[in-house]
């Protein structure tokens, strides 16, 4: 039976295991709908990736769900998320601020 030759301190044990930890997920906002998604992945909410539509999210929904989802998507397109895009302001509007 194998027996350890020397005592391994908690410090050395921690140094050995320092790469074994859970990393925090990095999320980015979808450019179309503003919902947070993993980087380099398709947005499940609106079905777009890199400003192109790849998935029809309305296809598998019932008529009632489709109508509600379409309403949400049109509302999001009218009022885009304020995350990264700012509206261009004229000189008059800038002076008011």
pLDDT for position 27: 93
Pairing type for strands 28-29 and 48-49 reads unpaired
54 vs 11: CA distance, rounded Å: 50
Position 43 in a domain: yes
pTM score: 0.49
pLDDT for position 26: 92
Query: Each residue of 38-63: pLDDT tens digit?
Result: 999 998 888 888 888 888 877 877 88
Position 12 in a domain: no
pLDDT for position 96: 66
Domain range for 55: 25-78
Q: Indicate the number of domains in the chain.
A: 1
Percentage of the chain beyond pLDDT 90 is 19
CA 57 to chain centre: 17
Position 20 in a domain: no
Contact between residue 20 and residue 14 where contact means Cβ atoms under 8 Å apart: no
Q: Looking at the predicted structure, is the pLDDT value of residue 97 above 60?
A: no
Contact between residue 42 and residue 48 where contact means Cβ atoms under 8 Å apart: yes
């Amino acid at each position: 039976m194998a027996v350890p030759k020397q005592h391994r301190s908690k410090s050395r044990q921690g140094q050995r295991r320092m790469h074994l930890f859970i990393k925090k997920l990095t999320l980015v906002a979808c450019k179309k709908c503003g919902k947070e998604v993993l980087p380099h992945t398709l947005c499940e909410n609106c079905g777009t990736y890199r400003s192109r539509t790849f998935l029809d999210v309305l296809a598998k929904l019932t008529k009632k769900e489709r109508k509600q989802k379409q309403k949400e998507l049109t509302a999001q397109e009218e009022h885009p998320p304020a995350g990264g895009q700012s509206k261009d302001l004229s000189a008059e509007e800038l002076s008011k601020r």
